[in-house]
Structure 1
């Protein structure tokens, strides 16, 4: 029987192995400077932080350790957002991998947890939008240099996630009891076939449900909406079963355009973990 940390590691591996995932690295597609093997190495590197969460560590130190290990490969940021979801889920799984428990884990985070989150940005470059003027002292891109401002305001990690919504759907999961992650787990359980195929299918349905905030922030709301509408068209006609070439072409096009729905991939990874913990899917 796998431990929660092992299930989290497996979820990251299954997510990146799923194909086709339009715009994202998968086992058939690399980005210009970010390759499939970087994700494999990032997953292995994150293990120490996931094990800390499993053993009852506070969220902040566990997350920072996971990111430090993840970043010890040549590609840069591979799974920052996914780990921001998985660390509290793994911590919750000590008791029960349920929405009420993970909500409590998130709401009970402290200022020290927020400081650990900020220190994680010292280890890897992460794309983040410009903050509002009143939040400039708390710009996460400042990393540990922003901790004094954080402490002056007494903000917990849950508070920081609240300040990131709307605009960041990983943070939104923290505020909604991981709503979309649990939905993804249900869809994975209901699907058929190899788990990597199921992961790609669920990724596409999530992308069709709601625009990807990473795409919106890197490109524009219009581009994010276009991607969601096109994903919706493919889902509506069950293209992964009836016209897989159309999905493959969409995936290649987004890679060529540099349009990367990374937030949707993060939520897919969280869904895979929940489904594995609930034994709704098996490997």
Structure 2
């Protein structure tokens, strides 16, 4: 098998913006989209946040903690609220791993290994900077913990701090397990949906295929385990009930897709979206994981 090509920074930056755009062009139950605002936010704020955070996340040579703090600071200045903290926390180490690879060939496996190396080197300074970012974003309940709370100076490295939170927060778990959920669950769902869409209709437009893939990844995460954001806001029992519904909806949606259609055309998912937003239930962590997965997928595909 020939070596994988390099993933240039220009491709990575474009892939990040593509993934963030798909986040709001794809209607996902409980999440903000162009067609369905919610939770006091509009799709335009998410697009502005992606633009605002781009340079910070892909700042060549910057440490992970600095990327996180600068991205959140610029986002806050642009939109005045927390729209992308989870995305920033996930993408910063992945971008740093690509940064280190430079012009060397980067396969999916090599990128995953490089990200693990980046995570292993995260230190107290990275934790200090990331804690400042989390406090600035001010997400309800995130960072409140009996050990290494973001409201006190850290005494351990960022990865170790994330490990302490990994059992209750899915984004922290990616720091602990080397992004296993993204590279395994996420990419598998992405590829399955992309292949099914194009096999059913080879002429399908890329945008529609990508929206189908984004929704499939999101539902795979939401149906895989309780969404951390819902747990923090509403408690574990309600989050578990949403997970069960997501599994049912995901299975139904996959079975009824004899021909590709835009995700927006699914009436049952639209009704569930309305219900979740009426109850102020936002599966935000599942969306963050989906965006990071699409970022990886678009980078890998675009480098071929």
> Same fold, TM exceeding 0.5?
yes
Answer yes or no: is the 8 Å Cα contact 1:33–1:75 preserved in 2. no
Aligned residues: 267
1:241 aligns with 2:257: yes
Give 2:131's aligned residue.
118
Q: Distance in 2 between matches of 1:29 and 1:190?
A: 26
Deviation of the 1:51 alpha carbon: 2.1
Answer yes or no: is the 8 Å Cα contact 2:49–2:79 preserved in 1. no
1:278 aligns with 2:300: yes
If the length of structure 1 is used for normalisation, what is the TM-score? 0.87
Which deviates the most, 112-121 or 36-45?
A: 112-121
Give 2:242's aligned residue.
227
Deviation of the 1:202 alpha carbon: 1.7
CA 1:281 to 1:15, structure 2 compared with 1: closer, same or farther past 3 Å?
farther
Deviations 1:89-111 (A, max 9, x none): 11112323522111111111111
Unaligned runs of 5+ in 1: none
Within 5 A, what are the aligned runs for 1:14-25?
14-19=22-27, 21-25=28-32
Give 1:214's aligned residue.
229
Within 5 A, what are the aligned runs for 1:259-270?
259-270=281-292
Answer yes or no: is the 8 Å Cα contact 2:229–2:282 preserved in 1. yes
1:69 aligns with 2:74: yes
Deviation of the 1:130 alpha carbon: 7.1
SS of 1:56's partner is coil
CA 1:233 to 1:264, structure 2 compared with 1: closer, same or farther past 3 Å?
same
Give 1:35's aligned residue.
42
Answer yes or no: is the 8 Å Cα contact 1:215–1:260 preserved in 2. yes
Give 1:58's aligned residue.
63
Deviations 1:54-106 (A, max 9, x none): x1211011111111111123450001011100111111123235221111111
If the length of structure 2 is used for normalisation, what is the TM-score? 0.81
Deviation of the 1:9 alpha carbon: 2.5
Q: 2:119 aligns with which of 106, 109, 117?
A: 106
Q: Distance in 1 between matches of 2:124 and 2:276?
A: 39
Answer yes or no: is the 8 Å Cα contact 1:46–1:69 preserved in 2. yes
SS of 2:77's partner is coil
